[in-house]
Amino acid sequence: MIKLGVNVDHVATIRQARMTYEPDPVTAAGLADLGGADVITIHLREDRRHIQDRDLDLLRETVFTKLNLEMATSQEIVDIALKLKPAQITLVPEKRQEITTEGGLSVTTQKKMLTDLIKRFKDNDIYVSLFIDPDKDQIIASSDVGAQSIELHTGSYANAESEEQSTELLKILNVAVGIAQNQGLRVNAGHGLTYKNTGPVVEQLDIEELHIGHSIVSRAIFVGIEAAVREMKDLIYKHYMIKQSL
């Protein structure tokens, strides 16, 4: 069944709004684990707007599922990742002005740099994924530079303004999955997914992991992290079983 990666960045965002010690994303990660999370995802940004180095250090010691570190390719963050050795890193584009990640990594324009960087990570037994748009050239380039998996950016699908548009964007994602698998890449997906739009992704895309943050943390305000994660796990299971029955 598709695994669930829970991004706890937004818990840290609330904490940093007051520059205090609560709510603690490390505690949130533990509760997400109790709710059934298969992966804990965090993004250590260069400007430290949410996750802090302290969080990464503690999560590296306390996450017993899989810790997935989203990160830019800046030397500072690369050095931190190589020192701490999370189970997986996902390379993403990063702009200081953006509220959240706005699109996929341009692999085609950075092939030499990414090839060298990915080799460094793999030589240190760190699994490497690339966050990219569902574009054929980007997918093939991801394989060329040595990535082991990709995470398809689902933002356009999540922001679709009609059912027809949503259907078309799912078709684009589905084609991208097939291209990636033919290249020997494992495929994950994420960005903008919610309790309302995740079902069709589960039913129609042959992927391994879904990475969801904002919607789960938003739901957790009302029901708690553990329950919110469990609800998403149940939703994924429900639609996975529908897919199996087709």
Active site residues: 43, 70, 191
Supply 146's token pair. 């040595």
* Amino acid occupying residue 114: L
Supply 19's token pair. 């520059």
Asked if 92 contacts 72 with a C-beta cutoff of 8 angstroms, the reply is yes
In terms of DSSP bridges, do strands 88-91 and 3-7 run parallel, antiparallel, or are they unpaired? unpaired
Three-class SS state of 86: coil
Which residue, 58, 63, 60, 47, is CA-closest to 13? 47
Neighbours of 205 (CB within 10 A): 21
**Per-residue CA distances from 21 to 29, 52, 56, 92, 153 (Å):** 15, 11, 15, 27, 32
Report how far residue 18's alpha carbon sits from residue 89's, in angstroms, rounded to the nearest whole number.
29
Report how far residue 195's alpha carbon sits from residue 157's, in angstroms, rounded to the nearest whole number.
14
Three-class SS state of 88: strand
Asked if 89 contacts 127 with a C-beta cutoff of 8 angstroms, the reply is yes
* Amino acid occupying residue 12: A
Determine whether 228 is exposed, middle or buried from the number of CB atoms within 10 Å of its CB (0-12, 13-18, 19+): buried
